[in-house]
Structure 1
Amino acid sequence: MSPRAILLTGLPFLVCAVFAALLPTIRRAAAVLRERVTGRRRVTPYTALADATRHLRSATIEEALPDLERILADGTGARRATVWLAAGSRLRTGTDSVENLAVLLARPGTGHVVPVLDGIEVRAVLSIEKPGLPITPGDRHLMRDVAGGAALLLRTVALNAELADRVRRAEHLARELVASRRRLAQAREVERRRLLTELARATSGRLTALREHVTAARADPRGSQLARARTEVDELLDRFRTIARGVYPAVLRGQGPDAALDELAADLRRGVHFTSRLGGRVAWEIESAVYQIVAATLGVLATEPGATIQVSLTSGDGRIRALVEDPGPPVTADQIRTALAHDAERLAALGGDLECDDLESEDGEPMLRLLARLPDRLDAEPSP
């Protein structure tokens, strides 16, 4: 066979091969030309779902809906496309809601609706409005395919929103932990200063007097100075024991503030009536703060005999409350606040607060009321 005959025979196959190679480029060029002329591009179920997957990056479903609605409107040529989210039997969108699917179908302008199912549960409903234009089989096919993929997309967005919420909660808990540690450090510093004040008060003058008695006793061992030195030592030891019980009472650690305050009241010069409805143990720092504030208050009010002081400990709404009511206060509320300045600072460091008021009883007699509040957890938010 001559070369010309071979060329003529293979030419059709060569043309077909070249056309097949150029076909994708020609189709893309035609699509671009059609989009420029008509202002719309052809959307298939696959490009619609691809667009939805690419654009649904929002943190909430409500933020993701405009992309899905735009894709539906582009693909069907609808004047309006809407994604209705299901809330029970009710359907809602950003600015509108209907009672159920039947009401939506009966609304004027509704052209076609397709439910978005997650198993047998309706998650959403897609609807389009094409006034004056028919609903084509292609529109129905596109909406069915988009609805089939939208269930997964909406679920993915919902999971993303849940994940973002958990991340926010974790960050919030981390901030609370840092704040809690800061409050504890501040509370320890306040307690350290209070202990130094107590120790200075206990030893002020007594150590000097003891040194003088010991010096005099050395010069005259048979005189009375030795007995006085022993008396000073005994008083100093008693004072240290009192401070130790106040700072770290053993019964407080073992049995809680109720038992510790009962033990404290036994040594007071005034009667104290306790009621407690705490309902359980809490963190040591909180129980210690409750004990300290009540003990400090009774230390000011119960220095002399008088009417019975009422003390109640309660818990609820995430707070522990210590209420002290004195029907015959020897001091005013301002004096109490001054005496409890360190204790109030400690309460504030732990997220609590202190109120103290001068009141009148039903008989018109002066009465003092003190209320201390504390969170029942160290990681709780401080009171405003």
Structure 2
Amino acid sequence: MNRTIVAQLARPLLVSICVAVVLTVVVRGGGTVLGSAASFAVLLPFVAAALCVVGLGLVRPRVDRLVGRLTHHREVTPYSALAAAAARIRAGSLEQALPGLTEVVASGTGASRTVVWLAVDDRLVSAAAQPPHDTAPPTVESLAVLLSRPDTDYVVPVLDGPVLRAVLAIGKPDAAITPEDKRLMHDVANGAGLLLRSVALNAELAERIRRADDLASELEASQQRLAHAREIERRRLVVELGYATVDRLAALRDEVVGARSVLTPGRERAGTAMDALKRARVGLEDLIDRFRVIARGVYPAVLRDQGPMAALEELAADLPRAVRLTGDLGRRLSWEVESGIYYLTASAIQQLAGRPAERELLVHLEHADGRLSVHVEDTAPVVTAQEVRDALAGDAERLAALGGELELIDHAAGADGSTAHGTARVVVLDAWLPDRLEPQVGQASVEAWMR
């Protein structure tokens, strides 16, 4: 039997029973009490009617709840639901209106679960639910994923043109979704569409503001890291210049002073002066060569023009130990990234290949997974890993300032006294830098905004 018909018959029947009981009790009971006072007995039906009018206003909600429990029918029309939703909206802020909207839909459909989902950054975030969530609001990737959830039986999307802004979803595991439920949800969604679109846009705006704040913070941190890296490079350049010039300039000055002293009047010794000037010339050429090496290290022209692979090949060609370079970086990267890896690798190569050795030094560069990485493997180390670590202290600090990492391992020999390469020790260096130094802020949820 149709639940609506049963509810329509049950309600007047219960009201009639209540009215009959009141009339019987008042008229008969009052007549028995008053006895022969006929003038007062005539007024008893009017008193009973007045009590019925007043009592119906008091017992009607209880009658409706009783009918609902008996017939599982909800006397909520789309119009009353929209009126209730409008009252909820007027009662408070937009965020406070959403829980009221879920209550209206739950009451109108008899659903055990009602959720309002907002579309934020290509995903759906639960903004309100009836009954409320016990934990953090859940998130689903798409409307298709939402439809596959076991607690979702019917959904109504709220569109802003072709853009999905929100979704009304209900779950009725113990009952079927009726045409009345669907019609009610569509009407509520249409009536509250402006509300849901406004809340979704506010959520998206709040998310973008939060991401902008994170981006500004990350930008400031990136600027600090780059400034720290510049300071490290400045200190390294000061040390290099001091090492290259102090002793050589002092020796050059001594040779020039010596040549001038033997050429003073009365002490002309051309041969001695010539020898001093020749030594001064050799010292000056050595100083010039050293300045060229420093300039090439500070600003390698090959690195700028052809990239780190070519610059490392040029560096390795002047070393006493063979170096085998492998890898393919593909496209060129920013100067900070390429130079960061180059300087570290160059320092490591100079330390490990600065003296002759039986085996060649293996160096592999790779650009993959958003990283520019280098792998250096020395199967016949002439220095210890600690010596290399001490020499690379400044480069490691600069690498960390740019957001990279460095790992240096000195592998001990195996149980048979050798490693896979047949040597007692293998020094391995692994380092990487992100291929982009610009601030990158990932997407974050808007649960905090919802709360």
TM-score (structure 1 length as normaliser): 0.72
- The alignment status of 1:193 with 2:235, answered yes or no, reads yes
Q: Which residue of 2 aligns with 1:82?
A: 114
Which of 89, 99, 112 aligns to 1:52? It is 89
SS at 1:267's partner residue? coil
Offset of 1:151 from its aligned partner? 3.5
Q: Which residue of 2 aligns with 1:25?
A: none
2:236 alignment partner AA? R
CA distance in 2, matches of 1:371, 1:44: 65
Distance 1:317 1:90, change over 3 A: closer
Q: Which residue of 2 aligns with 1:276?
A: 327
Which of 67, 91, 101 aligns to 1:68? It is 101
Which of 123, 131, 153 aligns to 2:167? It is 123
- The alignment status of 1:288 with 2:328, answered yes or no, reads no
Q: Which residue of 2 aligns with 1:97?
A: 151
2:438 alignment partner AA? D
Where do residues 334-373 of structure 1 align in structure 2 (5 Å cutoff)?
Answer: 334-359=386-411, 360=413, 361-362=419-420, 363-373=422-432
Q: Using the TM superposition, name which of 354-363 and 76-85 deviates more.
A: 76-85
Which of 163, 169, 173 aligns to 2:215? It is 173
Q: Which residue of 1 aligns with 2:68?
A: none
SS at 1:88's partner residue? helix
Where do residues 198-347 of structure 1 align in structure 2 (5 Å cutoff)?
Answer: 198-221=240-263, 222=270, 223=272, 224-306=275-357, 307-347=359-399
The answer to whether the 8 Å contact 1:187/1:346 transfers is yes
CA distance in 2, matches of 1:116, 1:339: 63
Q: After superposition, what is the alpha-carbon deviation per residue over 1:300-325, rounded to whole angstroms, capped at 9, x for unaligned? A: 11222222111011122222111111
2:100 alignment partner AA? D
1:82 alignment partner AA? T
Distance 1:356 1:142, change over 3 A: closer
Distance 1:300 1:345, change over 3 A: same
CA distance in 1, matches of 2:238, 2:200: 57
Aligned residues: percent identity?
A: 46
SS at 1:378's partner residue? coil
CA distance in 1, matches of 2:311, 2:145: 58
The answer to whether the 8 Å contact 1:354/1:370 transfers is yes
TM-score (structure 2 length as normaliser): 0.62
SS at 1:97's partner residue? coil
Where do residues 134-153 of structure 1 align in structure 2 (5 Å cutoff)?
Answer: 145-153=187-195
The answer to whether the 8 Å contact 2:215/2:439 transfers is no
1:268 alignment partner AA? L
SS at 1:69's partner residue? helix
Distance 1:282 1:116, change over 3 A: closer
Q: After superposition, what is the alpha-carbon deviation per residue over 1:7-35, rounded to whole angstroms, capped at 9, x for unaligned? A: xxxxxxxxxxxxxxxxxxxxxxxxxxx99
Q: Radius of gyration: which is bigger?
A: 2
| RMSD across aligned positions (CA) | 3.7
The answer to whether the 8 Å contact 1:72/1:81 transfers is no
Q: Which residue of 2 aligns with 1:158?
A: 200
Q: After superposition, what is the alpha-carbon deviation per residue over 1:239-273, rounded to whole angstroms, capped at 9, x for unaligned? A: 11111111101111111101111111111111111
Offset of 1:89 from its aligned partner? 7.9
Offset of 1:154 from its aligned partner? 2.6
2:255 alignment partner AA? H
The answer to whether the 8 Å contact 1:123/1:151 transfers is no
The answer to whether the 8 Å contact 1:84/1:91 transfers is no
Distance 1:365 1:87, change over 3 A: same
Q: After superposition, what is the alpha-carbon deviation per residue over 1:29-76, rounded to whole angstroms, capped at 9, x for unaligned? A: xxxxx99x989xx96734623533764634xxxx864221234578x6
Offset of 1:278 from its aligned partner? 1.8
Distance 1:186 1:49, change over 3 A: same
Q: After superposition, what is the alpha-carbon deviation per residue over 1:202-243, rounded to whole angstroms, capped at 9, x for unaligned? A: 123221111111110001242121111111111111111111
Offset of 1:326 from its aligned partner? 1.1
CA distance in 1, matches of 2:171, 2:348: 70
2:300 alignment partner AA? P
The answer to whether the 8 Å contact 2:320/2:354 transfers is yes
The answer to whether the 8 Å contact 1:126/1:147 transfers is no
Distance 1:127 1:144, change over 3 A: farther
Distance 1:233 1:79, change over 3 A: closer
Runs of at least 5 residues in structure 2 that lack an aligned partner in the other structure: 1-56, 63-78, 118-141, 264-269, 414-418, 442-451
Q: After superposition, what is the alpha-carbon deviation per residue over 1:113-141, rounded to whole angstroms, capped at 9, x for unaligned? A: x9566489993246899x9xxx9x9x999
CA distance in 1, matches of 2:302, 2:393: 26
Q: After superposition, what is the alpha-carbon deviation per residue over 1:67-110, rounded to whole angstroms, capped at 9, x for unaligned? A: 21234578x697978346593385599xx713x34xxxxxxxxx
The answer to whether the 8 Å contact 2:156/2:168 transfers is yes
2:434 alignment partner AA? P
The answer to whether the 8 Å contact 1:320/1:373 transfers is yes
CA distance in 2, matches of 1:218, 1:191: 39
Q: Using the TM superposition, name which of 153-162 and 176-185 deviates more.
A: 153-162
